[in-house]
Structure 1
Amino acid sequence: MRREEGETGSSIPRHPRSPVVGPLEDDDLLLEILLRLPPQPSSLPRASAVCRQWRLLVTDPGFSRRFCRYHRRNLPIIGFYNRHLPDISFVPTLKDLDRIPPGRLSLQPQRDDQNFSTFGCRHGLVLVHVRDFEPLKHHILVWDPVTGEQHDPGIPLGIDTGNRFNGAVLRATGNFDHFQVVLIGNSDKRRAVASVYSSETGVWSNLVSTSTSLPLMDTTDPFSGWCFNGLPVCVGAGSETGSNDRFSITQAEDGGLGFLSLSGFNAQLWKRKTKYDGIASWVMEKIIELDKLLKIPMDPNRNEHVIKVIGFAENNNAVFLYTKIGIVAFHLESLQFKKLPGSRSVAYYYPFESVWCM
């Protein structure tokens, strides 16, 4: 039988086919792909230049927060701050498209009678020590250099800001949107006090105090200036850097508490190990010959300390070292190192680890 024009060979009527949606046209799937871009400063700007759809997705504030949370355990070192400068000046360490202009992440005092210094960096936040001279007043700021947000948590009663005090900032565990600040100072010459601030509650904890054998020192590490029985080596007085430049708290290979100490040109890596009876002690993991690994020229005076610890990047488990060849970032797991730009100042450096979001 002859088919009529337009008749098909099937009794099932045909319908127009739905257009096939590719993976890059599905916003939900595309978001998951973009979320997994490397956390380098150039990643999101380059993605936004692909097309209007990508630009709208990566510039959305909600995506920026997700991107930061996703990479919170994989933060790159994008630069550092120098403790001894009179303001918070950013020094970039990355090159080419990943290099962030220093002015974008620097903080200058707004008044001539004000002075800024850095207490430390952690999890993309900077703890700023602010000194107002007229009238004389000390306070702190928690600053996010990427977003520009600033928070003033105040100073808890009981910490004497007329004496030296120090602090640290960190993201709250399990909640990247909140942070905590720890301040340690003096209530008198022979008693140290500490308090913790939570941005989630907006209050400082009750003071915790302990007696000390020496007055608290204005150092970059809370252990400097004392010789503790709880450390694997004796920690003596600090040097001209304002800290003890022969050791650093680190992360052990198993993820636990580690400790690095310099002995001449060697780095000794220790880890804290708990025995079957519950007693914890220090065990040496390895010894690294830094002069050979970094290819440092031989010095006729082998007793001269030409390698110093001047910073520690917690997320990358890398120490900043002052050496004869310049300042280097030395990764303790891979044993790889990178020479950093800038001067060979012996001042303490605070590595800034963060995700650059648009």
Structure 2
Amino acid sequence: MAMAALVDELIEEILRRLPPSEPACLVRAALVCKRWCGIVSDAGFRRRLREFHGAPPAVAAVYNAVDGDAYVARFTPCASFPPRADRRCKAVLDCRHGRVLLRGMPPVGKDLHLEDGSVVDVWDPVTDEQWEVPVPDVYPHEFDVVVLCAATGGTCDHLDCHGGPFVVVLVGTDLDNVFIYAYSSETAAWSKASTIHLDATLNSYLMLRPGLVSGDSIYFILEDGHKILKYDLVGHVISMINPPSLHAKGNVALVEAKDGRLGVADVEGYNLHIWSRQAAGSNGVEQWVKDQVIKLDMVPSIATLGPSAKFNVVGFGEGTNIIFISANAGIFVVWRNSGRVMKAGEKRAVMARFLNPMFSFQSFYTPGTSLMRIYL
């Protein structure tokens, strides 16, 4: 018995080193024999696999496309993750902690208003489950929505929380104010609105690019990149942060800094700049520091675009080193840790401003009943 247990431990030690970004590897291992299948399917193995690899791998890209007269939310695996059906007449608004946030869409060409859809949907691509969240009775001029795990204060590592409680945060603007509502799946209710009055010099609209969740705060780009909006999930307080001095404020996106806190990415010429907020001096006042410059013209498919090329930062993988940029007809993936740039595909059809972002879907996906059915 002791020898058998030792062998099982050695087998598990080997199997948990298989790349989690290729779940089919674990499926093949589970098919070797009943003994291996029992090891791989065990809940303890799945937990130790997640702990060993840390951050969930990026297994798919989630984005919006147009098919005929319908908007389509696309889920495109970038590994051996099982494909999921497109969500027609839906748009992807956000993606985080193993959940994708969707909303209903009118036909292409029709005016889009928040009241066109009475619900937003929280979708779990791992289990293919979906939950409806009613939209609060507000009709802002501009709005953005974020989905995240309900745990606060660093109590969750987000390695396997996609099936647990979640929070949806809706931020909108009217002529004079920003207001934010938070929905809890545990109470099935929206909070009262938190508001902040806008400076008269601001044009009062959101950039509507992917929001950034860092600790217990959510950040949004406001007013063409001239302000960053911060929302404290615990205290429900809204505040404003001045962004770094950028060459072109309209071409910016929020990203994670190397320490996981607030960062900003922008493109100037053929260079992708990454900025972060860091404490400076003895008083600890935070200021913007340029962390990294990635030269995009080193990539042949970008270098041939010419001086008229227009770059946009259209998304990032929260918890990863991935940043998505668009350049003329191409979509490119930039890896911050290595500076590597790869063309990921052709640019999607031109759509409404808030439909342009790309999202990286990250999750562990280990053999269980549903996964074995797919591959057997």
Q: Could you tell me whether the CA contact under 8 Å between 1:132 and 1:138 is conserved in 2?
A: no
- Indicate whether 1:356 and 2:338 are aligned: no
Match for residue 344 of structure 1 among 347, 351, 358: 347
In structure 1, how many angstroms separate the alpha carbons of the residues matched to 2:7 and 2:324? 41
Per-residue CA deviations over 1:276-313 (Å, capped at 9, x if unaligned) read 2132111122332211256633455x3x2433222211
- Indicate whether 1:185 and 2:172 are aligned: yes
Cα RMSD between the aligned structures?
3.3
Give 2:57's aligned amino acid: P
After TM superposition, the structure 1 = structure 2 runs for residues 303-322 of structure 1, keeping only pairs within 5 Å, are 304-322=308-326
Q: Could you tell me whether the CA contact under 8 Å between 1:124 and 1:352 is conserved in 2?
A: yes
- Indicate whether 1:233 and 2:245 are aligned: yes
In structure 1, how many angstroms separate the alpha carbons of the residues matched to 2:52 and 2:254? 23
Give 2:182's aligned amino acid: V
SS in 1 for 2:118: strand
- Indicate whether 1:214 and 2:203 are aligned: yes
Give 2:346's aligned amino acid: S
Q: Could you tell me whether the CA contact under 8 Å between 2:254 and 2:263 is conserved in 1?
A: yes
Call closer, same or farther: CA 1:166–1:152 in 2, change over 3 Å: same
Question: How far is the alpha carbon of 1:151 from its aligned partner?
Answer: 1.9
Q: Could you tell me whether the CA contact under 8 Å between 2:323 and 2:335 is conserved in 1?
A: yes
Q: Could you tell me whether the CA contact under 8 Å between 2:296 and 2:303 is conserved in 1?
A: no
Structure of higher CA gyration radius: 1
Paired residues in the alignment total 313
- Indicate whether 1:152 and 2:155 are aligned: no
Call closer, same or farther: CA 1:298–1:32 in 2, change over 3 Å: closer
- Indicate whether 1:108 and 2:87 are aligned: yes
Q: Could you tell me whether the CA contact under 8 Å between 1:233 and 1:261 is conserved in 2?
A: no
Match for residue 296 of structure 2 among 280, 290, 296: 290
In structure 2, how many angstroms separate the alpha carbons of the residues matched to 1:219 and 1:174? 29
Call closer, same or farther: CA 1:84–1:162 in 2, change over 3 Å: farther
Question: How far is the alpha carbon of 1:167 from its aligned partner?
Answer: 0.6
After TM superposition, the structure 1 = structure 2 runs for residues 161-172 of structure 1, keeping only pairs within 5 Å, are 161=139, 163-171=141-149, 172=151
Q: Could you tell me whether the CA contact under 8 Å between 1:182 and 1:197 is conserved in 2?
A: yes
Give 2:191's aligned amino acid: S
Per-residue CA deviations over 1:167-186 (Å, capped at 9, x if unaligned) read 11122343423322211124
Question: How far is the alpha carbon of 1:125 from its aligned partner?
Answer: 1.0
SS in 1 for 2:60: strand
Unaligned runs of at least 5 residues, structure 2: 108-114, 211-219, 228-240, 351-355, 372-376
Task: Detail structure 1 runs of 4+ shifted over 6 Å in the superposition.
Answer: none
Match for residue 278 of structure 1 among 273, 284, 302: 284
What does residue 93 of structure 1 align with?
78
Unaligned runs of at least 5 residues, structure 1: 1-17, 110-114, 238-243
- Indicate whether 1:39 and 2:20 are aligned: yes
In structure 1, how many angstroms separate the alpha carbons of the residues matched to 2:329 and 2:140? 40
- Indicate whether 1:199 and 2:205 are aligned: no
Q: Could you tell me whether the CA contact under 8 Å between 1:49 and 1:55 is conserved in 2?
A: yes
SS in 1 for 2:297: helix
Deviates further, 176-185 or 29-38: 29-38
Question: How far is the alpha carbon of 1:264 from its aligned partner?
Answer: 0.9
Q: Could you tell me whether the CA contact under 8 Å between 1:165 and 1:184 is conserved in 2?
A: yes
- Indicate whether 1:265 and 2:232 are aligned: no
Per-residue CA deviations over 1:77-129 (Å, capped at 9, x if unaligned) read 222122344122212333xxx2x45xx323435xxxxx311101112210111
In structure 1, how many angstroms separate the alpha carbons of the residues matched to 2:329 and 2:203? 36
Per-residue CA deviations over 1:36-79 (Å, capped at 9, x if unaligned) read 5421222321221121122244345x458636853784222222
SS in 2 for 1:348: coil
What does residue 120 of structure 1 align with?
94
After TM superposition, the structure 1 = structure 2 runs for residues 17-36 of structure 1, keeping only pairs within 5 Å, are 20-25=3-8, 34-36=15-17
In structure 2, how many angstroms separate the alpha carbons of the residues matched to 1:274 and 1:352? 31
Q: Give the number of the structure whose residues are more often strand, by fraction.
A: 2
In structure 2, how many angstroms separate the alpha carbons of the residues matched to 1:248 and 1:277? 28
Question: Percent identity over the alignment?
Answer: 28
Question: How far is the alpha carbon of 1:349 from its aligned partner?
Answer: 1.8
